[in-house]
Chains A and B, each alone.
Chain A
């Protein structure tokens, strides 16, 4: 059982969390100017790196989305932080 530190609640078990998205992958907008390839890449092409990965997860218990940097090979959690502009509110 992995444990992730929610920036709002602290260390909790992995069953309380969901993966949400790769970080740094903004939604392409407006739709009329987005090519089919770009849209397909946004939806379906994931980097899935071996090693350090930057991801957005949600702590379902508190409902907060946050950034997590972790090593997909060793499963070490390197850092978590609130989304920009959401810390300390």
Chain B
């Protein structure tokens, strides 16, 4: 218990509004305005979690997304959210925090034994050991021990995050001094600026470091910037993390809002300025992961914003000037401060601070938290160690956008190479440390008019600090993934010295903090171990997201039925009214059957359709108009069965192939006139068939000689099928006895009028019975339904769902492309070899029908199966030899019980099947062997007499 709350400091918190929360069951108190991290720091508990691999005690390190340790499962209002970062989470009343990687708690974690075993657990240990022992057996145990938080299965966050698109002239990422200067310079010239910052307020490091701009407190400049941006039509978004830079200058930002759904922004800008600041580096010494060791910058942040003081006896170890104001502020707040600087030449010591120039911290002491330290061989009593190993510019977004980096010795950092990414990087993100420099760079990058905003704080000095491989004791490089300097040495020894290999071998930088505080040390250590420069060693690839973004934010509103919305029938209310069970078929929500007992309903519907008449909604059936003098030529090229010989008023069944010769779709083409066709593509293939036609049209034909027009969704089609189909249409007033339509032959098409509406009648049959497809424009769907339904009632017919239609078509051996065919089925496999042997003109897929593979005699062919048993064969069962070994000869593709025939029927694809007619084969399914006889696919009315009703 070393952290404490200063009696007066902390302008973010409201001391009149205390907030109760708990950590691992212990009740604690903070204030309105606290972050979870600041509340915990002030409340005192130091061990906030355990490390991933060794279960070492870990405490708070940083102040934002770089935090590797303070990660919790948070329970709020009975719902759990895993892996929340304390540093970026506002404190709310009633929050119950639970540490991760711990059992049962962070204080008393029995897996801490892993730390004693550490010498046996070098990098690659799990992989090397358990791959040899049989990974499958050990994986569950290892997974239980590892992993961060736990998901709460009861918590499905609402899909409330909208995705919003926005354009602007200038996007400024980061509202610290450099970002403010850029935004103001551009807004002052009337440009539309979007200024984003992940913190709750503008100012960046100015918020805790303070400073004057143009001779006035910095907040005045920040307010003036916000006013200028808003006046010029721009936006200022705080609590908004720009998490990814994507192709062609697009960006994604996650905006968090109190008491309102988050927002997900997709941004594009004429110009982008990255002013993301820099992240403080740790230092490397023995036990540098103990709780109570914090970033010096973070300690100042917590002190000034929240009055949370990191400790009472503080050792601050540094090598740069930026730590001096930190030491001064802490001493002024009432802590004892010792300032150990690696440099001999330093700024003057702040008042009340014990100064140790030229001193190096080599070890921290303590078991569960810091108790003391060794500096240059001196034992120093300290309850808190603050460190500053320098600053790493936040170049992530520059690199995500493809940017390259250069080593800049002056700021001891890798900085963006100008011109390599579509953005300018300014301020600390560019290695420009110091207020005056940041303002100047921001102003210049936005092409500001006049002089840049002025500040007196100049650039500051720093010494390079690196991990020292000679030092005794374990030095932690990546605290979140438990990577030590020894692991990096081992990687180098074993030849994994390329940074991408180092990362994968040790898992360096692969944790949820993405190695913000770790990557630099890892690559600096590898550079030292291999005698290369940091520039030669390089960096790993930066990828989005910059911080963990909830999947619910990225998914947005597209959840459930909104993820891939089905197409809906115009008559859906009527179908529901009749008790239809709706299912998705090829992207359409269609009646599967009517009633509640599926098995009985389907059988009954299929039987009534054979005995009297069945009505079904065939509106999703494709209706692609092909119009123009070259319409027939286009269809001839795109189809397997030629359509130019089709007479107007007639329909013909055909196939559309892929260029590889496989059957892409089947269906009927109607010729309404010499230059007007309608292609009835299957409902799930309408879009692809239209595209095949469109591509051929644009590739091969003069564009005004033929047009392709998809009107599927503009028309309602109801199909009447069965012996009483014609009678039903007469009764409904659709067919007038003695009219041409009444005498329409099978495969005839006619356009007429019904109740003043255009009506198209096609006598095509997917059932083998006399059937009429009746199509009217969508606005007449309801009237057509009413007329047909009334007639159905008097004739004893039934509405039938898709499941019954499946039985009817299978009885006739009619295929469903994609069910009875697969990615190798060609038309001659289905018995349609005429065009293949006769056609000389080019058509889509022609050459592929004559490859060696296409000509094999043992290709899988469509057959029917008769089984002696009473239950249908399982769909998907393998066809095997009737006796002997069990190699597959094909499989059952469709299988049903036919109520009309009173026996099971099945279709199958079998190797050389047409030569096996009448032979008995085995049918093998899940260890069970059955028998069946191969027959023709058509099980009902092979002569087609029923077609005439």
List the interface of chain A (C-beta within 8 A of B).
Answer: 1-3, 14, 18, 20, 27-32, 34, 36, 39, 43, 58, 60, 63-65, 74-75, 83, 85-86, 89
Contact = CB atoms under 8 A, between A and B. Distances in A.
Contacts of A30: 840, 842
B848 interface: yes
A34 B248 contact: no
A68 to B, nearest CB: 13
A74 B402 contact: yes
Interface stretch (B427-435, B506-514, B692-700): B692-700
A63 B263 CA distance: 33
B246 A1 contact: yes
B248 A36 contact: no
B647 interface: no
Contacts of B266: 1
B833 interface: no
Interface in B681-702: 691, 694-695, 698-699, 702
A18 B688 CA distance: 12
A64 B698 contact: yes
Nearest to A38: B847
B708 to A, nearest CB: 8
B703 A58 contact: no
Contacts of A34: 847
Contacts of A85: 702-703
Given A1-B248, A34-B847, A43-B660, 13 more contacts: A31-B842, A31-B850, A36-B852, A39-B847, A43-B659, A58-B691, A60-B691, A63-B694, A63-B708, A64-B698, A65-B698, A83-B699, A85-B703
Contacts of B847: 28, 31, 34, 39
Contacts of B850: 31
A89 B247 contact: no
Contacts of A65: 694-695, 698-699
B704 interface: yes
Interface residues of B, number: 25
Tell me the dominant secondary structure on chain B's binding face.
mixed
A83 B703 CA distance: 11
B851 interface: yes
A36 B246 contact: no
A37 B318 CA distance: 70
Interface string B825-855: 0000000000000001010001110111000
Contact of B704 (A1, A32, A89): A89
A20 B695 contact: yes
Given A30-B842, A74-B402, A89-B703, A1 B247 contact: yes
Interface in B31-45: none
The residue among A31, A60, A75 with the most chain B CB atoms within 10 A of its own CB is A31
Tell me the dominant secondary structure on chain A's binding face.
loop
B403 to A, nearest CB: 12
A2 B248 contact: yes
A63 B695 CA distance: 9
Contacts of A36: 851-852
Nearest to B844: A27
Interface string B658-681: 011000000000000000000000
Contacts, number: 53
A29 B842 CA distance: 7
Contacts of A3: 248, 250
B150 to A, nearest CB: 34
Nearest to A28: B847
A36 B661 CA distance: 13
A3 B848 CA distance: 36
A86 to B, nearest CB: 6
Contacts of A32: 840
B389 to A, nearest CB: 36
A36 B695 CA distance: 24
B698 A83 contact: yes
A27 B844 CA distance: 10
Contacts of A86: 698, 703
Interface in B233-289: 246-248, 250, 266
Nearest to B852: A36
24 contacts: A1-B248, A1-B250, A2-B247, A3-B248, A3-B250, A18-B691, A20-B695, A27-B842, A28-B847, A29-B842, A30-B840, A31-B846, A31-B850, A32-B840, A34-B847, A39-B848, A43-B659, A43-B660, A60-B691, A65-B695, A65-B698, A83-B698, A86-B698, A86-B703
B627 to A, nearest CB: 15
Contacts of B402: 74
B851 A39 contact: yes
Nearest to B709: A63
A2 B248 CA distance: 5
Contacts of B698: 64-65, 83, 86
Nearest to B851: A36
A86 B702 CA distance: 9
Interface string B303-346: 00000000000000000000000000000000000000000000
Contacts of B846: 31
A83 B250 CA distance: 29
Contacts of B248: 1-3, 75
A39 B402 CA distance: 39
A20 B692 CA distance: 10
Nearest to A30: B842
Nearest to B252: A1
A74 to B, nearest CB: 7
A85 B698 CA distance: 10
A63 B694 CA distance: 7
Given A28-B847, A36-B852, A89-B704, A58 B842 contact: no
Nearest to B247: A2
Contacts of A58: 691, 694-695
A43 B657 CA distance: 14
Nearest to A34: B847
A36 B247 CA distance: 40
A33 to B, nearest CB: 10
A39 B661 CA distance: 12
A14 B734 CA distance: 47
The residue among B246, B840, B842, B847 with the most chain A CB atoms within 10 A of its own CB is B847
Contacts of B708: 63
A8 B427 CA distance: 43
A20 B695 CA distance: 9
B603 to A, nearest CB: 42
A1 to B, nearest CB: 4
Interface string B692-735: 00110011001110001000000000000000000000000000
A6 to B, nearest CB: 13
A60 B850 CA distance: 33
A53 B848 CA distance: 27
Contacts of A43: 659-660, 848
Contacts of A2: 247-248
| A-B CB proximity, top 9 nearest | A31-B847, A31-B846, A1-B250, A2-B247, A39-B847, A2-B248, A29-B842, A65-B698, A3-B248
A30 B839 CA distance: 11
Contacts of B695: 20, 58, 65
A19 to B, nearest CB: 12
Contacts of A28: 847
B226 to A, nearest CB: 29
A85 B700 CA distance: 11
A31 B659 CA distance: 12
A35 B694 CA distance: 27
A20 B697 CA distance: 14
A23 to B, nearest CB: 11
Contacts of A89: 703-704
A75 B247 contact: yes
Contacts of B659: 43
Contacts of A75: 247-248
A14 B268 CA distance: 14
Contacts of B247: 1-2, 14, 75
A86 B695 CA distance: 13
A69 to B, nearest CB: 15
